[in-house]
């Protein structure tokens, strides 16, 4: 890195040096260990581990349930943000604070609570049991847990954008004869779209890596309700370090890709909002 | 930080008809009730299902006490480490210009993108018996994996970005005029930091620390990989909850879980309070600015 320092402020070298050292020790070096360990495998061996039928089934479960949970939150997250920003109702501050509960509540607690509620004899599960619909210990249970865990993302990315939306635009459109539906699709949706997609991508990324809340409710049946992080754990429990590492590498690659997508979306959001000013 | 809450009614043309508003509010509240309130309430109901005495007994049992202690120790190490890192990283990034800055910010965010299970695994690969430094550590009789240091390391990793990502935008927005003035007037570096920088960022700092602490005390996946689950020795509260739950000891599991749920409620209350203070301070600043 090239240093351009015109500032009278002290501590640049010290603070940047410490930042880089700490970052390397805690994050970069351990992640490098993962990649180096994987490179001990030749391509064919790596490929056969990460495409094992049981692992392939776990990708399907992980991606399918994560996508569904993120979609549910795309719709309801927008609705919650909309109601919080636009409609007056009593207890709003409390509801607004409560939205962050999934960030504050440890995942294991969420996991056992949801597994108990949606079990066949649980508060909610008992109403679905007579209908022949099992929620806990099926992929449906995984979707529920992931929906809980990722609920705040879309709300928190869309809320500030809705807050700053200029009322004048909507008033102008209405005075020119646009219906509410037209205003929503032609003015509001295009403005909040980048934020909406950012929240969706963040929720999806979080859901893919999630472990604690899912394992209690998933039932963890091979080929049916095993998630990919669980495959890493079960390889580790069999002391198959190479197998665990190879699957972890796949997950890491997906995480990197999603991080890049999210960064891109955030840049788009900032640009879209900047242009409006 | 979350956007403000606005209860002022809007003009007729920019809102929906009353029935639509009531319907949408109802659906949103029902969703929050079903997905957030019911699970939260159920934790306490299950914990007290067989009365106060069993509840308290589950919390004072030796394994539970040792899990509580380990959780507190872990947070007491991990949070200050990341606090110092967050301050130094934000200082370098917000107050100086250098190449590769946005790449550095992306790297700092990286631990949020990595699955907790992978976060645990990377330390096993470094320090585990089969790992890079495993044999050396075994020769010197140092235990990191399946011991407390591993739990602390995994917790440091998952709480790594919290303070930094809260402070960087805040300090960038504040600029460095006040610090430069302090330096020009002859303050030492430390005087400038304690008297100018810290008072300016204290609320953002507190916000980051609250969130980091909640995650540190509640982390499950990463800690689960490195802990080894030795009862009374390497179990944090979340891991203790898992063991009890898998043994069908539901009352005790939910009793310990209720401690973590209380922690979550305190976290949310503190967080809302900090947000409310920051909003009020910002509003005061704006008022002063218009009066001048």
How does pLDDT run across A191-233, given as a tens digit for each residue? 899 999 999 999 999 999 999 999 999 989 999 999 999 999 9
Record: contact B37-A98, CB cut-off 8 A: yes
Q: Which residue of B has its CA nearest to A237?
A: B225
**Residue-wise pLDDT tens digits, A7-16:** 678 889 999 9
Give pTM, 2 decimals.
0.91
Q: Which residue of B has its CA nearest to A105?
A: B264
The whole-number average pLDDT for the span A137-155 is 95
Cβ neighbours of B39 in A, within 8 Å:
110, 113-114, 117, 148
Give the pLDDT confidence score for residue B133 in this predicted structure.
87
In the predicted structure, residue A275 carries a pLDDT above the cut 80? no
The whole-number average pLDDT for the span A99-127 is 94
The whole-number average pLDDT for the span A34-58 is 93
Cβ contact B154:B123 at 8 Å: yes
Question: B235 in helix, strand or coil?
Answer: coil
B223 Cβ neighbours under 8 A, 6+ residues apart: B120, B151, B154, B155, B236, B238, B239
Which of B8, B86, B90, B96 would you mutate first to test chain A, the one with the most A CBs within 10 A? Answer: B96
Which of A8, A32, A80, A87 would you mutate first to test chain B, the one with the most B CBs within 10 A? Answer: A87
Question: A3 in helix, strand or coil?
Answer: strand
What number of H helices and E strands is found in chain A? 16, 1
The whole-number average pLDDT for the span A155-175 is 89
Cβ neighbours of A108 in B, within 8 Å:
218, 220, 238-239, 241-242, 257, 260
In the predicted structure, residue A249 carries a pLDDT above the cut 70? yes
Record: contact B218-A107, CB cut-off 8 A: yes
The segments of chain B whose pLDDT lies below 70 read 1-14, 292
- B26-35's contacts with Cβ under 8 Å and 24+ in sequence apart are B27/A79, B28/A76, B28/A79, B28/A80, B28/A82, B28/A83, B28/A84, B29/A83, B29/A89, B29/A95, B31/A76, B31/A79, B31/A80, B32/A80, B32/A95, B32/A98, B32/A99, B34/A124, B35/A147, B35/A148, B35/A151
Tell the burial category of A89 from Cβ atoms under 10 Å away from its Cβ (0-12, 13-18, 19+): middle
φ, ψ (nearest 5 deg) of residue A84: -65, -35
Q: How far apart are CA B119 and CA B112, in angstroms?
A: 10
Which residue, chain included where needed, has tokens 């920088």? B197
In the predicted structure, residue A277 carries a pLDDT above the cut 90? no
DSSP structural state of residue A210: -
In the predicted structure, residue A101 carries a pLDDT above the cut 60? yes
Cβ neighbours of A182 in B, within 8 Å:
none
Cβ neighbours of B42 in A, within 8 Å:
113, 116-117, 123
Give the pLDDT confidence score for residue B2 in this predicted structure.
42
Give yes or no for B191 touching A (CB within 8 A): no
Question: B97 in helix, strand or coil?
Answer: strand
Which of A9, A154, A172 would you mutate first to test chain B, the one with the most B CBs within 10 A? Answer: A9
In the predicted structure, residue A27 carries a pLDDT above the cut 80? yes
In the predicted structure, residue A59 carries a pLDDT above the cut 90? yes
Top-confidence residue, A167 or B250: B250
**pLDDT averaged over every residue in chain A:** 91
Question: A4 in helix, strand or coil?
Answer: strand
Q: How far apart are CA B206 and CA B136, in angstroms?
A: 40
Cβ contact B239:B227 at 8 Å: yes
Give the pLDDT confidence score for residue B56 in this predicted structure.
94
Strand partners, A3: B98
Give yes or no for B14 touching A (CB within 8 A): yes
Q: Which CATH number fits domain A42-273: 1.10.3720.10, 3.20.20.10, 3.40.50.1820, 3.40.190.10?
A: 1.10.3720.10
The whole-number average pLDDT for the span A95-110 is 96
Cβ neighbours of B125 in A, within 8 Å:
30, 33-34, 37, 241, 245
Which helix (H) or strand (E) segment is B133 a member of?
none
Which of A31, A105, A230 would you mutate first to test chain B, the one with the most B CBs within 10 A? Answer: A105
Q: How far apart are CA A114 and CA A143, in angstroms?
A: 11
List, as ranges, residues 16-75 from B with C-beta within 8 Å of A: 16, 21, 24-25, 27-29, 31-32, 34-40, 42-43, 46
Give the pLDDT confidence score for residue A231 in this predicted structure.
96
Cβ contact B268:A97 at 8 Å: yes
Q: Compare CB distances from A88 to B7, B217, B254 and report the shortest one's residue.
A: B7
In the predicted structure, residue A182 carries a pLDDT above the cut 50? yes
Domain ranges of chain A: 42-273
Record: contact B125-A210, CB cut-off 8 A: no
Give yes or no for B15 touching A (CB within 8 A): yes
Cβ neighbours of B183 in A, within 8 Å:
8-10
List, as ranges, residues 246-265 from B with C-beta within 8 Å of A: 250, 253-254, 257, 260-261, 263-265
Size of interface A-B (CB pairs under 8 A): 303
Q: Compare CB distances from B88 to A8, A18, A244 and report the shortest one's residue.
A: A18
């Amino acid at each position: 890195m090239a240093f351009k320092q015109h500032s009278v402020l002290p501590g640049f070298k010290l603070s940047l040096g410490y930042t880089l050292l700490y970052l390397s020790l805690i994050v970069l070096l351990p992640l490098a260990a993962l990649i180096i360990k994987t490179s001990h495998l030749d391509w064919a061996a790596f490929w056969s581990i990460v495409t094992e039928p049981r692992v392939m089934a776990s990708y399907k479960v992980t991606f399918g349930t994560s996508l569904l949970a993120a979609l549910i939150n795309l719709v309801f997250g927008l609705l919650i943000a909309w109601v919080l920003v636009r409609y007056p109702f009593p207890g709003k501050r409390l509801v607004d604070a409560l939205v962050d509960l999934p960030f504050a509540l440890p995942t294991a607690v969420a996991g056992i609570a949801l597994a108990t509620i949606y079990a066949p004899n649980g508060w909610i599960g008992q109403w679905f049991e007579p209908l022949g619909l099992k929620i806990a210990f099926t992929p449906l249970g995984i979707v529920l847990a992931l929906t809980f865990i990722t609920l705040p993302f879309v709300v928190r990315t869309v809320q500030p954008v809705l807050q700053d939306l200029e009322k004048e635009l909507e008033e102008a459109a209405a005075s020119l004869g646009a219906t509410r539906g037209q205003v929503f699709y032609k003015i509001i949706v295009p403005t909040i779209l980048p934020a909406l997609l950012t929240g969706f991508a963040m929720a999806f990324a979080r859901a893919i890596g999630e472990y604690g809340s899912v394992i209690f409710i998933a039932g963890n049946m091979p080929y049916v309700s095993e998630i990919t992080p669980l495959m890493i754990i079960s390889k580790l429990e069999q002391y198959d370090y190479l197998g665990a590492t190879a699957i972890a590498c796949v997950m890491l690659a997906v995480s990197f890709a999603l991080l890049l997508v999210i960064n891109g979306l955030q840049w788009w959001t900032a640009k879209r909002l900047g242009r409006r000013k | 930080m979350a956007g403000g809450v606005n209860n002022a009614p809007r003009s007729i043309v920019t809102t929906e008809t009353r029935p639509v508003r009531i319907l949408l509010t109802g659906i949103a509240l029902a969703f929050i009730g079903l997905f957030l309130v019911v699970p939260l309430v159920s934790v306490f109901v299950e914990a007290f299902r067989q009365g106060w005495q069993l509840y308290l007994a589950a919390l004072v049992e030796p394994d539970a006490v040792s899990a509580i202690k380990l959780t507190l120790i872990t947070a007491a190490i991990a949070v200050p480490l990341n606090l110092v890192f967050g301050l130094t990283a934000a200082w370098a990034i917000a107050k100086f210009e250098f190449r590769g800055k946005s790449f550095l910010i992306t790297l700092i965010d990286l631990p949020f993108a990595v699955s907790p299970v992978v976060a645990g695994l990377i330390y096993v690969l470094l320090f585990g018996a089969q790992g890079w430094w495993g044999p050396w550590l075994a020769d010197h009789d140092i235990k990191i994996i399946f011991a407390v240091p591993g739990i602390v390391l995994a917790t440091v990793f998952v709480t790594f970005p919290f303070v930094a990502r809260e402070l960087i935008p805040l300090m960038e927005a504040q600029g460095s005029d006040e610090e430069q003035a302090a330096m020009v007037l002859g303050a030492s570096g430390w005087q400038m930091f304690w008297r100018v920088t810290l008072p300016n960022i204290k609320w953002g700092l507190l916000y980051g620390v609250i969130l980091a602490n909640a995650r540190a005390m509640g982390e499950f996946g990463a800690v689960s990989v490195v802990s080894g689950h030795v009862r009374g020795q390497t179990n944090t509260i979340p891991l203790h909850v898992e063991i009890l739950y898998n043994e069908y000891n539901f009352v005790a599991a939910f009793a310990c879980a209720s401690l973590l749920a209380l922690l979550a409620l305190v976290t949310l209350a503190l967080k809302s309070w900090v947000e409310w203070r920051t909003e009020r301070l910002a509003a005061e600043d704006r008022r002063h600015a218009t009066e001048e």
